Structure 1
């Protein structure tokens, strides 16, 4: 079962599911080329050396460890980091061996802040800081298509608040539909 399907409540639907922006994979891709190309070039230079077979083994081990730690691990980290918006919650999960997960109900979100660098404006990513009623502010970095995410989240928060608006009897209930003004009554005599 794909994340976060096992966490959804009845009637809850995934509206947006994102991984970090692809820019986090640029450095691992460059390092992949460097390790493969550099290791091959170094092995070719050392082929006439007396201990070239030992040197090739050392180069191969260093290149393999470099590929694992600097290319495969960031790729897996990118793949396992999720930013999900549903019609009831915001989910965030990250981690390979040690997993960290946050779940914020839309009704608890009090404020959102965005931070977009110069490169973020050019490539279309930024950071989203969400302040909720119960927790410390959470910062989601490298969010792709940040304006779309922010507008979707704003709309869902408004829909959630309209769903649980307080009725005239003081009890929670469905609020008036969009564009419907609440009924206004004249003040009681003597008030």
Structure 2
């Protein structure tokens, strides 16, 4: 999915557009399964009771609230978080109701580093660390294919363009 063209300047195009790695959705999915399983178990427990209908309604409402709060909200947060490298800047946008963003012009970036442990390496993600001219280093967690993003960003900063790194699989 391409980043909206109307948010880009003239002669600016997207080099990389990523959402955070899917690993941040593992816990919400597990919570959803526990909520559904727990709700079904509780509903089966109260089924023989005379007041089972109000209990089922209460279990359903509580399950719905937990599912929305602990599963749907993180999914929306993941979907609305964008990490974008263009030919002129690095952009990060996040948030559902309250949006926030960071833009760093390429000429202000001093260094680009990445870090990933064993689990991150197995999953194919990591943390990208960007140092700019005036700010403390910014860390962007759970970037998919962090080594390739690091290389692309480094090349954009230094004006060293190579088309062989511009593969669709890393976008």
| TM-score interval (norm. to shorter) | 0.7 to 0.9
Query: What are the within-5 Å matches in structure 2 for residues 54-93 of structure 1?
Result: 54-93=54-93
- TM-score, normalising length: structure 1: 0.79
In the TM superposition, what whole-angstrom CA distance separates every residue of 1:8-36 from its partner, at most 9, and x where no partner exists? 11111101100000111111111121111
- Structure 2 residue 134 is the aligned partner of structure 1 residue 141: no
Conserved 8 A contact 2:3-2:14: no
Structure 2: give runs of 5+ residues left out of the alignment: 161-171
Aligned partners of 1:44 and 1:33: how far apart in 2?
A: 16
Query: What are the within-5 Å matches in structure 2 for residues 111-130 of structure 1?
Result: 111-130=111-130
- Which residue of 2 is the match for residue 20 of structure 1? 20
* Higher-helix-fraction structure: 2
- Which residue of 2 is the match for residue 98 of structure 1? 98
Aligned partners of 1:154 and 1:82: how far apart in 2?
A: 19
Q: Answer with 125-134 or 151-160: which moved more.
A: 151-160
Aligned partners of 1:13 and 1:134: how far apart in 2?
A: 25
Structure 1: give runs of 5+ residues left out of the alignment: 161-191
Paired residue total: 159
- TM-score, normalising length: structure 2: 0.88
Conserved 8 A contact 2:116-2:127: yes
Larger radius of gyration: 1
**Moved beyond 3 Å, runs of 4+:** none
CA RMSD of aligned residues (A): 1.4
Aligned partners of 2:7 and 2:89: how far apart in 1?
A: 10
